[in-house]
Amino acid sequence: MLKVAVLMGSANDAEKMAPARETLEKFGVEHEVWAMSAHRNAEAVREFVGGARDNGFGVVIAAAGMAAHLAGACAANTTLPVIGVPVSGGALDGVDALYSTVQMPPGMPVATVAINGAQNAALLAIQILAVTDEGLAKKLAEARTEWKPKQL
């Protein structure tokens, strides 16, 4: 099974990204979590995502706040699917991060979830991997059945 890379612009985002890690663990999806800034560690980001496919990754989740260029920097350096998670904080409480993440130029797509939408980012990554992994697709279908509202 392919792995998921969970990148955060700062280690301070770890608590807000915990639902992504927990969801990936629940589904048995191997993942690695890294803190690397698109601004402070641009070369490290480029090297990591540039080699992600060869290192067994199938999806990149990139979470950042304020200017939130991490997802875009990832998309510019890999052809793997990139899921952006805008993180709340700063003067605009995540709205700036949302706009920075979702407003990508043509040719550099980033799937974007809600502000602090770490769980949905993980579920989207799982859906992407489940396209070619029947076991994961079955786990996802079972979970969806459990999430349906029960009739009274």
| pLDDT for 147 | 84
| pLDDT for 107 | 94
pTM of the model: 0.95
**Number of compact structural domains in the chain:** 1
| pLDDT for 151 | 66
Q: How confident is the model at residue 11 (pLDDT cuts 50, 70, 90)?
A: very high
8-state DSSP, 38: T
| pLDDT at position 152 over 80 | no
Q: What is the mean pLDDT of residues 87-111?
A: 94
| pLDDT at position 50 over 70 | yes
Domain around 13 = 3-147
Q: What is the DSSP string of 77-129?
A: T-SS-EEEEEE--TTTTTHHHHHHHH-PPTT---EE--TT-HHHHHHHHHHHH
The neighbouring-strand residues paired with 85 are: 63
Q: Is residue 33 part of a domain?
A: yes
Q: Is residue 152 part of a domain?
A: no
